[in-house]
Amino acid sequence: MTAPLRLGLDLRWLQRAWLKAPTGALGGMGIFAQNLVRGLAEAEEPPRLVALVDHGPVPEPLTTLVAAIPGSEIRACGLSGLWPRMDRRRKYAHLMHLIETESGFGMARALRGLDVLHMLDHTPPPRAARCPTVVTLHEFYDWVRQGWAVYRALCRRMTRADEVVGVSAVVAEDFAAHHALGRTRISHVHNGIDLSRFEPEAGRGDGERLRGLGLPARYLLHAGVMTHRKNPEGIFGAMGRLRAEGLDPPPLVSAGAYGAVPGALATIRGIAAANGVADRLIVLEKGASPDEMASLYRGAVGLVFPSHTEGFGLPAVEALACGTPCVVSNRSALPEVTGDLGILVAPADPADIARGIRRLIEDDGHRARVAAEGPAWAQRFSCRAMAEGYLAVYRALAKGAT
């Protein structure tokens, strides 16, 4: 019998997300990390997990999550948490990151004895790693906005990894097409969602949760903070067009942690007002807990999610898992993860988005089809399936290193 693979997972992003949002509104990468660990715990042959965290407090939910894998341990690494006054100053964050990854300071001891190291948040692997390394790539958009010099430097450092794994085929193909990979392999493993929570049967408490949030009986839903990438101009432009055409759309509920993105809330309110639909916007500015999100999906007329770009698009898959129809962009990864169940629209065309929203509201046949087929489609995006995909990557790399 072979010894279990000793896997290092960089869970610092998840640790920070839980410290900021104890109720569990973790954001896309936090949810990805949480669901990967859950899937590894369900695997037929789980690894021996070494959870890498910042110095300082480890949230109780993270401790419980890691403990579900037998033989797991938590190791503090890096520089964050050693000097709290520096941690509070964002201008030092990039410097500390560079010191960690390029010099190995604060990392070498924590990485001892690993068979594979996995960086979960598209962080380049530290030079101190003495084992095969994996990096998950979620998307390119934010990198490009930082400017080409920064973007190219990040990509060069990413290719230190033995394997770069995109969260969708689109992300993996784009990376491979635009960058010299050298010895780095490129693959993709789809993200997983919590199918025990995002399912079509309304659980006890749905009505109470929605009433507690003060929502009307009929509403459209947008999940996450509506930054420019999420296309508020297109969404509210479409709603304004529908109103001008005589169809007053249901209110749009935007559930996201707006306090974490300065100026975002004022921006979307201004855009809604400019399109004459300020009264059609309801903002849950502290976000929503995972259970509240499931209730929001099940209670919605539909999800409106025509982002300019998405590396994966968790909300679209979560909506389909709940049997709720969705309007999504006809670009990036959204067609890949919604199949022929998503209502595809051109994100740069408010008239086309308006067509999609009208179909959400009026097409009962499509609604019935999604209710019947959406949950079955979403089964391919389970936490267990994601974990098995990554385990295949880990084992191949560990075997090649021996």
- State pLDDT tens for residues 321-340: 999 999 999 999 999 999 99
Q: What pLDDT score does 92 carry? A: 58
Determine the pLDDT at residue 353. 98
Q: Are residues 259 and 393 in the same domain?
A: no
Sheet of 326-329, strand order: 281-284, 252-255, 220-223, 302-305, 326-329, 343-345
Residue 264, in any domain of the structure: yes
Q: What is the pLDDT of residue 252?
A: 98
Same domain, 165 and 66: yes
- Of the CA atoms within 13 Å of residue 351, those in its CB half-sphere come to 0
Which pLDDT does position 251 carry in this prediction? 98
159: domain CATH number is 3.40.50.2000
Report d(CA 402, CA 394) in Å as an integer: 13
Q: Give the integer Cα–Cα distance in Å for 362 and 298.
A: 17
- Of 21-30, 58-67, 251-260, 390-399, the range with the lowest mean pLDDT is 21-30
Q: What is the pLDDT of residue 91?
A: 54
- Helix ranges (H only) for 112-178 are 141-145, 148-158, 169-178
As a whole-number percent, the residues of the chain with pLDDT over 90 amount to 69
Q: For residue 350, what are its two tokens?
A: 């408010």
Considering the domain architecture, whether residues 95 and 135 belong to the same structural domain is answered as yes
Using DSSP, state whether 154 is helix, strand or coil: helix
Q: Is residue 1 in some structural domain?
A: no
Residue 210 lies in a domain: yes
Q: Does 36 share its domain with 183? A: yes
Return the pLDDT at 180: 66
- pLDDT over 70 at 386, yes or no: yes
Evaluate whether residue 215 is within a structural domain. Answer: yes
Backbone angles phi, psi at 362, to 5 degrees: -105, -20
Looking at the structure, do residues 218 and 152 belong to the same domain, yes or no? no
How far from chain centre, in Å, is Cα 102?
A: 27
In a domain, 200, yes or no: no
Which range in 1-15, 122-136, 247-261, 263-277 is most confidently predicted, on average pLDDT? 263-277
CB of 235 closer than 8 Å to CB of 221: no
Comparing CA positions, the residue from 82, 69, 373, 398 lying closest to residue 92 is 82
Mark out the alpha helices in 300-382 (DSSP H runs).
Answer: 314-321, 334-338, 350-362, 364-378
pLDDT of 153 above 80: no
pLDDT band at 346, cuts 50/70/90? very high
Q: Is position 199 within any domain?
A: no
Do the domain assignments include residue 201?
no
Return the H-helix or E-strand segment holding 51.
Answer: strand 48-53
pLDDT tens by residue, 77-131: 987 777 665 555 555 566 677 777 777 777 888 999 999 999 998 888 988 899 9
Say whether both 260 and 184 belong to one domain.
no
Residues 135 and 86 in one domain: yes
Note whether 179 and 217 are same-domain residues: no
Contacts of 261-267 with CB under 8 Å at 24 or more apart are 261/225, 261/227, 264/225, 264/226, 264/227, 267/232
Based on the fold, state whether residues 174 and 236 are members of the same structural domain: no
Q: Is residue 262 part of a domain?
A: yes
Same domain, yes or no, for 146 and 211? no
Mean pLDDT, rounded, for 138-164: 72
Residue 286 has phi, psi (to 5 degrees) of -95, 5
- Summarize the confidence of residues 380-387 as an average pLDDT: 97
27 and 169 belong to one structural domain: yes
- Where residue 149 falls among pLDDT bands split at 50, 70, 90? low
Contact indicator for 352, 345 with CB cutoff of 8 Å: yes
**Domain span holding position 14:** 6-192+382-401
Q: Tell me the pLDDT tens digit for each residue of 160-214.
A: 899 999 999 999 988 887 776 667 899 999 999 999 999 998 766 898 899 999 9
Residue 169 CA to residue 232 CA, distance in Å, equals 26
Find the helix or strand (DSSP H, E) in which 281 lies: strand 281-284
pLDDT, position 181? 66
Within a 10 A sphere around the Cβ of 180, how many other Cβ atoms? Answer: 9
Task: Please name the residue that has the structure tokens 């896309």.
Answer: 28
Going from the C-alpha of 283 to that of each of 162, 220, 248, the distances in angstroms are 43, 12, 19
**pLDDT more than 70, % of the chain:** 90
- The reply to whether 325 and 243 lie within a common domain is yes
The chain-wide mean pLDDT, for the chain, equals 90
Domain count, the chain: 2
Beta strands 73-76; 48-53: pairing state? parallel
Quick: pLDDT tens for 282-307: 999 888 989 999 999 999 999 999 99
